[in-house]
Structure 1
Amino acid sequence: MIVVIDGPAGSGKSSTARAVAERLKIQFLDSGALYRVATLIYLNSQNNGDSFFDALKESDISFYFKEKKFHVLLNHSDVSDEIRAMHVANAVSTVAAMPEVRAFVNALMRQAVQSGIYIADGRDLGTAVFPDAELKFFMIADLDERARRRLSELEAKGEQTTFDEVRKNIEDRDLKDSSRASDPLKQADDAILVNTSGLTFEDQVQMISEHVQQLIAKNA
């Protein structure tokens, strides 16, 4: 079973999905991390299209959720922290817009959820990757609020950046994600809209947890 949370960058979907997974003891799938590892491969291939796609197909990418953290391994090396750096964030929307990359990442995710109960976050999960998901959410928040959240995350990891730089990065990603030709960011017709600007983190986790618990009980 798969539950999906879509929304723009910094809306709180990843942290919320992780918290729900931890609270309900289910699996968490971070689609953004998978696009970030593809972006890391792209940057390491010096932005060369042909060598990038070859490297992507030949890469061994694995992932797991443990102790509240989504771990990603690239060729058996843990890159979970490296993929969160700003130079990766600045390029991820460009890489994620490539149809070949989307097909590759979507295949990884669909294979991962063949068994068990998962909650996943992304931008097009409810519309393109898992259109038949039994429960869908779409999270939004004010741009400045999203920038403050992302800046706090980066500062906690020792990343040197500014509010304006982070805000511009998110604003640019919003535009690219919503206007790309392949699977643009948009709310699925059957998704529950969650505006996190006026909610505490505990409020949004509790609300989504209750919906998921009801679904699990229904399917038991």
Structure 2
Amino acid sequence: MKTINIAIDGPAGAGKSTIAKMVSKKLGYIYVDTGALYRTVALYITENNIADEDIEKSLAKADVSLRFVDGTQRVFLGDRDVSDLIRTPAISMAASRTSAIPAVRAYLFETQQKIARENNIIMDGRDIGTVVLPNADVKIFLTASAEERANRRYKELAEKPDCPTYQEILDDIIKRDYADMHREISPLKQADDAVLVDTTTLNLEESAEAIVKVIESKIG
């Protein structure tokens, strides 16, 4: 039986994960958070102070997995749930850097493709439609202005005591955008056959509905 694969790419802070989760629930598909996988590898490398030249052999000892806990997808490093630890600005920047390392991409590439072969999935990331699932049934490039993405992130973190300023968040997003688009391996870009969806003026529910309409128009 043929599975249906939906690829959603886009820059940091565009709401890919949140929106993809909402759409997967509406359509009954499995959601695969590839960003969480890369962040977890970055956490593993950071916590163990692994030098770039040692990453390939060290990853053989890493145990990164996605699990469903009470119906919610969580990411684990060994037996440790690191779903919250991987969402700090420091790990975000580390993930942007380590995701450009060929050994890291190779480590996670087969994991992602295996999940896609066996399930109807929505997978989001930076290079899903261009590299990981080039033959996806539907490809979407989800974006929003850097200012709006920074504003959303600031609101999300505002209640935390160590919340960075809006300007710090904006600077971080601009820096990540540049790094993701200019990295040598699998840079962030819109696939030629991807549908552009700009959510700058949309709320989450409107964004999810826009994605569902694109998917339904492609696969019926």
The TM-score, its normalising length taken from structure 2, stands at 0.90
CA deviation string 1:162-186 (max 9, x = no partner) = 2122111111110111001111100
2:209 to 200, 206, 211: 206
CA contact (8 A) 1:28 1:119 kept: yes
1:24 partner letter: L
Q: Does 1:9 align with 2:21?
A: no
Alignment partner, residue 153 of structure 1 = 156
Alignment partner, residue 39 of structure 1 = 42
CA deviation string 1:111-144 (max 9, x = no partner) = 2222121001111110011100010000111111
Sequence identity, in percent?
A: 37
Give ranges in structure 1 of 5+ residues lacking alignment: none
Give ranges in structure 2 of 5+ residues lacking alignment: none
May I ask how many residue pairs the two structures share in their alignment? 217
| 1:207 Cα deviation from its structure 2 partner | 2.0
Q: Does 1:59 align with 2:62?
A: yes
Alignment partner, residue 26 of structure 2 = 23
**CA RMSD across the alignment:** 1.9
2:6 partner letter: V
Matched position secondary structure for 1:113: helix
Distance of aligned partners of 1:110 and 1:155 in 2 relative to their CA distance in 1, 3 Å threshold: farther
Q: Does 1:133 align with 2:128?
A: no
Q: Following the alignment from structure 1 to structure 2, what is the Cα–Cα distance between the partners of residues 166 and 85?
A: 12
Matches within 5 A, 1:138-217: 138-155=141-158, 160-213=163-216
Q: Which moved more, 1:159-168 or 1:124-133?
A: 159-168
Q: Following the alignment from structure 2 to structure 1, what is the Cα–Cα distance between the partners of residues 9 and 146?
A: 16
Q: Does 1:122 align with 2:118?
A: no
Matches within 5 A, 1:104-123: 104-123=107-126
